[in-house]
Amino acid sequence: MARDVRLPARPQEAARRLFEVEARSGSYTYEPPSRRITPLEPGEHLEGQSTMAEVELTRDYLRWCERTGRPGDCLRLLTESPTLNGDGRFALALALAKGAVLDEMLEAFKDMADPHAMVAAVLWTWTTYMVLVSLPDVTVSKGLAAVMTATIISYVGVETFWGLVVGFKRLMDEADRATTFNGLRAAGERYGKLMGRNAARAFAMLAMAAMGNTAPGLAAKVPKLPGSMQAAVQAETQVGIRLAAVGEVETVAVSAETVTIALAPGAVAMTSSRTSGDGAPKKDDLPELERWHEGSYDSPLDSLQKHFAKHGAEVGAKDVSQYLRKARGFAQNIKGAQKFPIEGATEGVIRYVKSGKYIDLAPDGRIVSFGAR
């Protein structure tokens, strides 16, 4: 698939064109006589506008590139600014979130003329898309982005998709506030734990498929992508659409409570899927998700959702957030509980039983399971 992609010289600008979005930041000059504000050309900047924190963060980024064997601006984050700011911070945090997936891409692109440029292009496409769908109460009505959203939901599931959008909003807040490379890395790693490798692979694969494409072109590629058969089943069972009809998606609306997919008139299906009520943790609970162990699942979020589906009713939890809060509260009140070692995917797990309920805790204190006996 990568061999069919023409690499852009400016991946950030190309990603904006792809999703038809405007630049969210830039440099401008003010002309007093005419009172005109004029944007500078890409690559032009005003002197002295970067803060010392931005300069030091940029130096740390370049040192990181060198340490990882990719000297220079390895992710093409500085093509529009001399320092790391704006969406460049989000892109770097996303790269740090799932570095293993970027390494897999580098290995897959090793026979290309410039594998690093290909990875940078995928990263910018991925980042720009996430920024777009993370806008408050956004309705994605531009063809390619709508098709990509419906396809991603088919691959990862509506609950995981919604949780990742909410998590990315938190990542953006933390990346904006970060003043050091380590702070940015910590924000990225927290999001990486939420995402899981399989979801990251799906996002990267679809970002690459979208590059330089159109909505009909991407829709034609989707049935041929790896994992499309399983995604087709999930699309029909979870959101009621046929993956083969993904090109007929007209709009996707993402709000604080729902993800709604609208198809063209006469298409096979239309769906409006509630997400936050019983399948994904609320935004305020995302920091506490770090207390949950991934166990044998792809990510803590995946594990939490599976355990809620199995044990939520028996502990009186109406949704995932309530299940997480009940588990957290029980873990803080296990004094006097009976203890048993548990064998499973995670070594050293201890089960604590008290008052008809149990909780399994890993050696690092994270929750593996919570239910009733």
3-state secondary structure of 339: strand
Report the sign of the C-alpha dihedral through residues 229, 231, 235, 237, in that order: positive
Rg (C-alpha) for the chain, rounded Å, is 22
Domain count, the chain: 2
Concatenated DSSP letters of 211-264? TT--HHHHHHHGGGSTTHHHHHHHIIIII---GGGGGGEEEEEE-SSEEEEEEP
* DSSP 8-state symbol, 72: S
Q: Are residues 242 and 316 in the same domain?
A: no
Cβ pair 194, 94 in contact under 8 A: no
pLDDT at 73: 94
| pLDDT block averages, 10 residues each, the chain of length 373 | 68 89 55 47 50 91 91 92 90 87 80 84 93 83 85 87 87 91 92 84 90 90 89 80 83 76 59 45 57 81 83 87 88 90 86 93 92 88
Among 274, 299, 324, the domain-final residue is: 274
Q: Are residues 33 and 121 in the same domain?
A: yes
Cβ pair 235, 241 in contact under 8 A: yes
Backbone angles phi, psi at 368, to 5 degrees: -100, -40
Stated pTM of the model: 0.70
pLDDT at 49: 52
Q: Domain for residue 282, yes or no?
A: no
pLDDT at 257: 67
Instruction: Please report where in the chains the tokens 């340490």 appear, as a residue.
Output: 67
CB count within 10 Å of CB 253 equals: 17
Tokens linked to 350 = 């201890």
Query: What length does the chain have?
Result: 373
Q: Are residues 51 and 174 in the same domain?
A: yes
Measured at the CA of 340, the angle between CA 335 and CA 343, to 5 degrees, comes to 135
Q: Domain for residue 279, yes or no?
A: no
pLDDT at 338: 92
Cβ pair 156, 202 in contact under 8 A: yes
Q: Are residues 196 and 124 in the same domain?
A: yes
Of 320, 300, 283, 304, the closest CA to residue 197 belongs to: 300
Among 215, 241, 274, the domain-final residue is: 274
- 215 to 61, 85, 150: CA distances (angstroms): 34, 30, 12
Which domain covers residue 354, as residue numbers? 289-372
Name 283's Cβ contacts closer than 8 Å, sequence gap at least 6.
166, 169, 170
d(CA 242, CA 271): 11
Q: Are residues 211 and 320 in the same domain?
A: no
Q: Domain for residue 283, yes or no?
A: no
H-helix or E-strand containing 272?
Answer: strand 271-274
Q: Are residues 49 and 174 in the same domain?
A: yes
Q: Domain for residue 167, yes or no?
A: yes
Q: Domain for residue 211, yes or no?
A: yes
pLDDT at 45: 46
Q: Are residues 197 and 222 in the same domain?
A: yes
